[in-house]
Amino acid sequence: MGDGEEVADVFRGATVWWLAFSTPPREDSGGRGGRAARADRRFYRLYFLERDRDVILGEYLRHVRRQGRAFTVKNRQRKLFTNLSSDEMWWDNVWSHVAFEHPKTFDTLAMDPVKKRDIMDDLDAVRRGKEYVTLTGNLIGVTPDQKRIG
């Protein structure tokens, strides 16, 4: 989002307006702080109706943080580290890394297509079950007595 841009989001019937802002770097940083002190400070301001306060401050912000963390994990760059052996190891960094980009995915895996589809269906069923438990708090096909065991 650019500076001054506004985006509306609806969550469980509550509307939230996100506004993007930035402030110039402070002059009194005293030369400390590195690149972060020299960069614009970016932030968002949220606006919502008073009647939606409990939903926004309770569920919505947790939802946004959870989604943000999931997005960060999904898109982070994987690195492959190796230990360098060198005569100047005592003053140089011993570890080096390269970006790890592996072309193999489950779709490109050499496997019987029927078996692969069965595995994918099973994984989807497990995922849907976890989502159901997360949303409702109820386990499918489990009695209250069985929940207490363990």
How far is the C-alpha of 32 from the C-alpha of 88, rounded, in Å?
A: 30
How far is the C-alpha of 131 from the C-alpha of 139, rounded, in Å?
A: 11
AA identity, residue 113: P
AA identity, residue 26: R
Band of residue 150 on the pLDDT scale cut at 50, 70, 90: very low
pTM of the model: 0.49
pLDDT of 105 strictly over 70: yes
Each residue of 35-75: pLDDT tens digit? 556 678 888 899 999 999 999 999 999 999 999 999 998 88
Residues 6+ apart with CB under 8 A from 10: 16
